[in-house]
Amino acid sequence: MTVPVSVYNYARFNPFDPSTMFANFVSINSESACLCECYNNTLCMTATYSAINQTCSLYSVQLNEGQLQVVPIIFNTKVFNFRNRSVITTTTTTTSTTTSTVTTTTTSCTGQGVGSLLSVSGSIGWTYYSHNYTATVLAPVLQFAVQGGPAAETVYLDDVSVVAISQPTIQLLNNPSFEMSTSSPIDWVMWCTSSCVGGGDGGQIITSGCHNNSGNNCYTSHCQTGFNFLGQSFSAVVGNIYKISFWYYKTGGPAGKLYVDMV
């Protein structure tokens, strides 16, 4: 028997009612395994698979009872949706799946919609930022975006942190202060660097001029003609509160900007 399933690439499902997520599997090493988990549970109508976190979240509702959120290609997430489960019976022993539609969304290298947590322009010395974030998805992405400006307008980041309010001693990011990095930030993802022009654009790791409380390394970027992004996802529990914090520093005038978001 063939069961039709729709596949939405580079997206995740955010239900209007978080309680409709009835299962969240970890150590799922392929999208096929996630799809099978959803197929084998007759309650499952929609599933989100995160390749980076190797998680598979199952939901008991259709797509019209939530929203599809586009995520950057490099985070490699997919949404599966069974539009008609009435054809599935408990006597079925062998199955195959057929993809009925595939929607591919490319990553936008523009700044539309960025800056929901913080937007910085103009020159500012090392400054501490902190925000309490209530998780709405299981694998949120902390995203930094650097826009425009001449080479003299440079953004620096250091000592980034994400911790649960209930467990403040457990760091949820890998390599949060960039100390494990050399020329590029290990465990972080950079994208849209090709939209920048000029030497040194697109983000790099440096060992001088960093914040003095967090080791030797920090991240720096300028993007003369476009936007470049730095991000990392972490595992969260929907409804729980997380403290997002970091130090930032920006040189030069108001043409170049720093934007920070949770996506």
Residue ranges of the chain with pLDDT lower than 70? Answer: 1-3, 85-108, 110-113, 197-201
Main-chain phi, psi angles of 76, to 5 degrees: 50, 60
Amino acid at 125: G
Which residue shows structure tokens 């960025």?
114
Model confidence pLDDT, tens digit, residues 245-261: 999 999 988 888 899 99
Spatial contact of 39 and 96, defined as CB atoms under 8 Å apart: no
Give pLDDT, residue 201: 64
Give pLDDT, residue 92: 28
Give pLDDT, residue 235: 86
pTM: 0.72
Give pLDDT, residue 89: 34
Q: How far apart are CA 253 and CA 150, in angstroms?
A: 9
Give pLDDT, residue 243: 98
Give pLDDT, residue 164: 97
Give pLDDT, residue 254: 86
Domain 118-262 falls in which CATH fold?
Jelly Rolls (2.60.120)
Which helix (H) or strand (E) element contains residue 36? helix 31-40
Give pLDDT, residue 103: 36
Model confidence pLDDT, tens digit, residues 90-133: 332 223 333 333 333 345 676 655 788 999 988 999 999 999 99
Any idea where the domains of the chain sit in the sequence? 3-88, 118-262
**What's the full length of the chain, in residues?**
263
